[in-house]
Amino acid sequence: MWEYTNKVQQHFLHPKNVGEIENADGTGEVGSLACGDALKLTIKVDGNEVITDAKFKTFGCASAIASSSVLTEMIVGMTLDEAAKVTNEDIAERLGGLPKEKMHCSVMGREALEAAIADCRGVILPMAEGEVVCECFGVTDLEVIRAINESSLRSVEEITNFTKAGGGCGKCEDRLREILIATVQVVPVDQLQQEKPKRMTTLQKIKKIEEALEREIRPGLRKDGGDIELVDVDGDFVLVSLRGACTSCTKSQTTLKEYVERKLRELVLDTLIVEEAK
Amino acid sequence: MMDCRPEQVVYMDNNATTRVAPEVVEAMTPFLSDFYGNPSSMHRFGGQVGAAVRKAREQVAGLLGAEPEEITFTSCGTESDSTAILSALQSFPDKRHVVTTRVEHPAIKNLCEGLDSLTGHKHRVTRLPVADDGTLDLEKYREALSDDTAIVSVMWANNETGVIFPIAEMARIAHEHGILFHTDAVQAVGKIPIDLNKLDVDFLSLSGHKLHAAKGVGALYVRRGTPFVPFLTGGHQERGRRGGTENVASIVGLGVACELAGANMEEENNTVRKLRDRLEEGLLKAVPKSMLNGHKTDRLPNTTNISFEYVEGEAILLHMDRYNICASSGSACTSGSLEPSHVLRAMGVPFTAAHGSIRYSLSTYNTEEEVDFVLEKMPPIIAELRAMSPFWKED
Ligand SMILES: Cc1ncc(COP(=O)(O)O)c(C=O)c1O
């Protein structure tokens, strides 16, 4: 069970400003159903760019709902300029803190707010200007640097907890570490948190498996009129589906085990187990 | 610290763990206080404790239709599972294939996943797929068996959906091929009549805390004559099959729990099934876009797993917690991982529904009033969360 503060529980159980403003002046939408959390924020501003109303709709866990609720409470009465300065730390702080694995919920709030403000002003989000470092979650270097500074992050794992960057395929981890070191120059590198080797996440595995399939495995199968598709990855189990000539081939099971599994173990992870999807 | 009192809660999380029956507590207590002797000792003070363990062994065997010497006490269901699989692999060192399913409990799933690094040998693991209702295709099962299969391990009943697998038939098929058969019956024992004398099952795992005994005690049935290699090597306890001084009080409690389960099973199942059906039908009727996960009839009488689309499981559980209603969810957020339950995914339950799945697992201690209370509280909880969800469209 997560340890939630009273404030989180309050905002979760009795959220403020649920709904959608009709004819909103600004709308910010982030997240998706598949990701497990999503937020739609709508705001209304007066002639002096003061936010007069804010409403939200959120799909997600308690911390996602509480972050959205407290955010709407915070920004009503602020000018757009003031609201633009609200950080995810501000949101988390107003909630009395969030479990570290849930910090991205507060970041989701800040992102939706930025999107709504940009929409209000009819401008393109400034963050999109940076260089995308995490392709899986579309996080730019500017966003990472900002999170490092605002939240005094000291490890790649923390960057992932706050921005989700690196939580997908993990290819950007080295780059994230570089950014981290460059951003916190004042701190000697050896004082950065020592990180233990991480287990590959499912998304990381999927990315690497897809690459290996495309580069090393499909060409061989296609020569014989067959093909292979990745269906799912569950722990170390890789579910694939054979296509074309492979489906009627009596040697397909041998192909899977002797060829595909061996290759994937060699190229991706030596504990992978390949099986055919139903 | 303990500010959530048992008399306040509506406990519908019995597949996670159960209340220890008062009769069990009563039977255990003397062995936690006065009768602390070691069952292996030569003196009468210890010897009488040994007799209590013997009686418990008979009670467990009685529930399963087994002989007492076929029962080995362990520390939990997980230990029983590991013992069975690793024993079979060590007994047949040239067989390196294991057949199991995609919906096993982590006690089997993660063990099979890590077999190579654990044993230092390369293994092949076939995990049988399940249909959308969580049932197995026996044709695929037959095809999976091969000369090099050391053991088949299939759970008797699924902890998340309650779906029951045809263990009698599957064990028979394994024996036709000369292959050992293990079943993780942790969720089945006490809820399904089991007569091992008549079955081709070689190993069966059970766990005390799922049938109203204490946590930290389990048992492994090993059919007489089955090759066996211990998991914990040490003293001669359990006739050398499991070293370590016996957890006497819990073992005595497990014996009583088994006897109680055997005596009341049919009656309790009928009561629990009625309550479960009332809950399930009520929820499916009262909440639009809700659906049952798992086969409707091939299922434990106490379990219902329902998906409420477009809402997230952790949020639902925390709202239920406000009313002291205890249940579980297969959502990603509750587990701390990024993905929803592997069981629901294996069944092809869409993400939209898997994130919002709630498992209610009842016991004989539940009442109709409690079911009606849950039926009263759930629809507004779901409606409130949906009103908040950007994906929910009222139609
Ligand atoms: C099907 C199944 N197998 C094994 C276990 C593990 O049992 P134990 O907690 O006693 O190790 C459980 C308990 O959650 C279970 O439901």
CB contact under 8 A, B116 and A271: yes
CA distance A28 to A108: 10
Average pLDDT over residues A34-47: 87
Active site residues of B: 333
Asked whether the whole model's pTM tops 0.90, one would answer no
Highest mean pLDDT of the ranges A71-85, A235-249, B112-126:
A71-85
Q: Are both B120 and B211 inside the same structural domain?
A: yes
The per-residue pLDDT for A239 is 87
In angstroms, what separates the C-alpha of A46 from chain B's closest C-alpha? 25
Q: How far is the CA of A261 from the centre of ligand 1 (A)?
A: 30
Q: Are both B95 and B197 inside the same structural domain?
A: yes
**B227 CB near a chain A CB, below 8 Å?**
no
Q: How far is the CA of B112 from the centre of ligand 1 (A)?
A: 15
Q: Are both B297 and B184 inside the same structural domain?
A: no
CB contact under 8 A, A36 and B102: no
In a domain, B395, yes or no: no
In a domain, B106, yes or no: yes
CA distance B286 to B242: 51
The per-residue pLDDT for B351 is 79
Average pLDDT over residues B296-322: 95
In a domain, B298, yes or no: yes
CB < 8 Å & 24+ apart, contacts of A194-198: A195/A155, A195/A156, A195/A157, A198/A157, A198/A170
Q: Are both B244 and B283 inside the same structural domain?
A: no
What CATH superfamily is the domain A202-276? Fe-S cluster assembly (FSCA) (3.30.300.130)
The pLDDT of residue B109 is above 80: yes
- Phi then psi for residue A139, to 5 deg, are -100, 135
Average pLDDT over residues B145-156: 97
Of the partner residues A18, A37, A40, the one whose CB lies closest to the CB of residue B387:
A18
Instruction: Report the mean per-residue pLDDT for chain A.
Output: 85
Q: For chain A, what is the HEC assignment? A: CCCCCHHHHHHHHCCCCECCCCCCCEEEEEEECCCCEEEEEEEEECCCCEEEEEEEEEECCHHHHHHHHHHHHHHCCCEHHHHHCCCHHHHHHHCCCCCHHHHHHHHHHHHHHHHHHHHHHCCCCHHHHCCEEECCCCEEHHHHHHHHHHHCCCCHHHHHHHHCCCCCCCCCHHHHHHHHHHHCCCCCHHHCCCCCCCCCCHHHHHHHHHHHHHHHHHHHHHHCCEEEEEEEEECCEEEEEEEEHHHHCCCHHHHHHHHHHHHHHHHCCCCCEEEECC
Of the partner residues A18, A167, A271, the one whose CB lies closest to the CB of residue B388:
A18
CB contact under 8 A, A13 and B387: no
Instruction: Establish whether residue B76 lines the binding site of ligand 1, counting it when its CB lies within 6 angstroms of any ligand atom.
Output: yes
* Residue in A9, A169, A273 to test binding to B, most B beta-carbons within 10 Å: A273
Q: Which domain holds residue B169?
A: 22-263
Q: Are both B46 and B158 inside the same structural domain?
A: yes
Q: Are both B158 and B26 inside the same structural domain?
A: yes
Nearest-5° Cα angle at A190, A186 to A194: 120
Check which CATH number belongs to the domain holding B304 and give it. 3.90.1150.10
Instruction: Establish whether residue B207 lines the binding site of ligand 1, counting it when its CB lies within 6 angstroms of any ligand atom.
Output: yes
The pLDDT of residue A187 is above 70: no
Strand partners, A273: A237
Percent of chain A with pLDDT over 70: 89
Q: Whose CA is nearest to atom 16 of ligand 1?
A: B159
Which of residues 287 through 316 in chain B touch A, CB cutoff 8 A? Answer: 310-312, 314-315
**B388 CB near a chain A CB, below 8 Å?**
yes
The per-residue pLDDT for A24 is 95
In a domain, B1, yes or no: no
CA distance A25 to A121: 9
* Residue A241 banded pLDDT, cuts 50, 70, 90: confident
Residues in chain B with CB shorter than 8 Å from the CB of A277 are 129
Convert the pLDDT of each residue in A195-219 to its tens digit. Answer: 555 567 777 788 888 888 888 888 8
* Residue A225 banded pLDDT, cuts 50, 70, 90: confident
Choose one of B242, B263, B284: the last residue of a domain: B263
Cα B162 from chain centroid (whole Å): 9
Q: Are both B219 and B272 inside the same structural domain?
A: no
In a domain, B272, yes or no: yes
Q: Are both B340 and B310 inside the same structural domain?
A: yes
The per-residue pLDDT for B79 is 98
The pLDDT of residue A172 is above 90: no
CB < 8 Å & 24+ apart, contacts of A35-39: A36/A60, A36/A61, A36/B312, A36/B331, A36/B332, A36/B333, A36/B338, A36/B340, A36/B355, A37/A61, A37/A64, A37/A105, A37/A108, A37/B312, A38/B390, A38/B391, A39/A64, A39/A68, A39/A108, A39/A109, A39/A112, A39/B390
Q: Do A127-193 and A202-276 show the same overall fold?
A: no
Quick one: tokens of A169?
A: 């395929």
Q: How far is the CA of A146 from the centre of ligand 1 (A)?
A: 45
Comparing A253 with B313, the larger pLDDT belongs to B313
Residues making up the binding site of A: 35, 61, 105, 134, 136, 169, 172
Of the partner residues B113, B322, B338, the one whose CB lies closest to the CB of residue A235:
B113
CB contact under 8 A, B389 and A57: yes
Instruction: Establish whether residue B214 lines the binding site of ligand 1, counting it when its CB lies within 6 angstroms of any ligand atom.
Output: no
Instruction: Establish whether residue B208 lines the binding site of ligand 1, counting it when its CB lies within 6 angstroms of any ligand atom.
Output: no
Strand partners, B290: B308
In a domain, B76, yes or no: yes
What ipTM describes this predicted complex?
A: 0.81
Instruction: Establish whether residue B386 lines the binding site of ligand 1, counting it when its CB lies within 6 angstroms of any ligand atom.
Output: no
Of the partner residues B114, B319, B338, the one whose CB lies closest to the CB of residue A201:
B338
The domain A6-122 having CATH identifier 3.90.1010.10: the answer here is yes
Instruction: Establish whether residue B183 lines the binding site of ligand 1, counting it when its CB lies within 6 angstroms of any ligand atom.
Output: no
Q: Whose CA is nearest to atom 5 of ligand 1?
A: B77
Q: How far is the CA of B193 from the centre of ligand 1 (A)?
A: 19
Choose one of B263, B296, B314: the last residue of a domain: B263
Choose one of B235, B263, B291: the last residue of a domain: B263
Domain map of chain A by residue range? 6-122, 127-193, 202-276
The pLDDT of residue A191 is above 70: no
Nearest by Cα to A98 from A126, A121, A70: A70
Do the strands A237-244 and A273-276 form a parallel or antiparallel pair, or are they unpaired?
parallel
Burial class (CB in 10 A: 0-12, 13-18, 19+), A98: buried
Is residue A249 annotated as part of the catalytic site, yes or no?
A: no
Convert the pLDDT of each residue in B246-260 to its tens digit. Answer: 999 999 999 999 999
Question: Are B46 and B39 contacting, i.e. CB atoms less than 8 angstroms apart?
Answer: yes
Quick one: tokens of B383?
A: 């409606």
Instruction: Establish whether residue B187 lines the binding site of ligand 1, counting it when its CB lies within 6 angstroms of any ligand atom.
Output: yes
Longest dimension (CA), chain A: 74
What CATH number is given for A127-193 in this structure?
Answer: 1.10.10.1100
Is residue A105 annotated as part of the catalytic site, yes or no?
A: yes
Tokens 């061996």 belong to residue: A262
Percent of chain B with pLDDT over 90: 90
In a domain, B327, yes or no: yes
The per-residue pLDDT for B169 is 98
Q: How far is the CA of B294 from the centre of ligand 1 (A)?
A: 19
In a domain, B393, yes or no: no
Check which CATH number belongs to the domain holding B95 and give it. 3.40.640.10
The pLDDT of residue A188 is above 70: no
CB pairs under 8 A between A and B: 93
Interior/surface letters A189-203, b for 16+ CB within 10 angstroms, e for the rest: eeebeeeeeeebbeb
Convert the pLDDT of each residue in B111-123 to its tens digit. Answer: 999 999 899 999 9
Q: How many domains does chain B have?
A: 2
* Residue A277 banded pLDDT, cuts 50, 70, 90: confident
Q: Are both B291 and B230 inside the same structural domain?
A: no
